[in-house]
């Protein structure tokens, strides 16, 4: 009888501990499961490691595929939002809402420029989000940096950064930022 009682008690302890394991938030699962075409600098294991470091408050870096550094810039599990520097010259920003993932990939050379798209939880059904800003005089807005800010997309025209100081007066009246609502 004691043996049966011990077995039942052991099983109930194991089940209780298993039930208490925290579930990995969806934004972290999506980042760790991102295809290599999206996050080629880190393996899924390395992505897991930098997320773990960020969750315990470490601003630790990890060596990426190019022997450079990658790190989590910010993570907000309540809002399902994450920003990761894949290299010093590129970031990936993700926001998970309504069973959709908004992805912003920004490359910083020669000037910041972003690609924005939405995918489902399986990284399928990609829908590109067109990002446009008005041209300024004869200068087309070709380098646009996009970030998520207060439930909207903040667009920053980086093209004007290539204009020399002599020509600044011509472009002074050009809008450099605008925001649009999130696409979902």
44 domain-assigned = yes
Report the DSSP pairing between strands 69-76 and 100-107. unpaired
170 domain-assigned = yes
Between 2-6, 55-59, 127-131, 134-138, the lowest mean confidence (pLDDT) is in 2-6
Confidence of residue 172 (pLDDT cuts 50, 70, 90): low
63 vs 66: CA distance, rounded Å? 8
Q: What pLDDT sits at residue 111? A: 79
11 domain-assigned = no
How many domains does the chain contain in total? Answer: 1
Token readout for 135 is: 């041209």
Name which residue leads in pLDDT, 121 or 2: 121
6 domain-assigned = no
Q: Is 70 exceeded by the pLDDT of residue 57?
A: yes
Mean pLDDT of 50-54: 90
4 domain-assigned = no
Q: Is 70 exceeded by the pLDDT of residue 56?
A: yes
Domain range enclosing 112: 22-181
47 domain-assigned = yes
Q: Is 60 exceeded by the pLDDT of residue 93?
A: yes
Confidence of residue 115 (pLDDT cuts 50, 70, 90): very high
* Phi then psi dihedrals of residue 88, to 5 deg: -70, -20
Q: What pLDDT sits at residue 166? A: 46
Q: What pLDDT sits at residue 17? A: 47
Q: Is 50 exceeded by the pLDDT of residue 49?
A: yes
182 burial (CB, 10 Å; 0-12 / 13-18 / 19+) is middle
17 domain-assigned = no
- Chain centroid, CA 46 distance in Å: 15
Q: What pLDDT sits at residue 5? A: 62
94 vs 156: CA distance, rounded Å? 18
- On average, the pLDDT of the chain sits at 84
Q: What is the pLDDT of residues 120-156, one digit of tens each?
A: 999 999 999 998 887 777 777 778 889 998 889 999 8
14 domain-assigned = no
């Amino acid at each position: 009888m004691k043996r049966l009682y011990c077995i039942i008690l052991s099983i109930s302890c194991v089940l209780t501990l298993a039930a208490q394991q925290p579930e990995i938030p969806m934004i972290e699962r999506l980042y760790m499961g991102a295809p290599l075409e999206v996050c080629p600098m880190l393996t899924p294991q390395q992505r897991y490691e930098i997320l773990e470091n960020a969750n315990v408050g470490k601003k630790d870096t990890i060596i990426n595929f190019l022997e450079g550094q990658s790190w989590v810039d910010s993570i907000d599990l309540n809002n399902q939002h994450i920003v990761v520097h894949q290299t010093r010259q590129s970031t990936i920003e993700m926001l998970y809402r309504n069973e959709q993932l908004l992805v912003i990939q920004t490359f910083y050379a020669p000037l910041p420029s972003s690609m924005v798209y939405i995918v489902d939880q399986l990284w399928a059904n990609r829908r590109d989000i067109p990002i446009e800003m008005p041209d300024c005089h004869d200068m087309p807005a070709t380098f646009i940096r996009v970030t998520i800010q207060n439930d909207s997309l903040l667009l920053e025209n980086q093209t004007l950064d290539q204009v020399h100081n002599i020509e600044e007066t011509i472009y002074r009246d050009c809008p450099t930022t605008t925001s649009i609502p999130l696409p979902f």
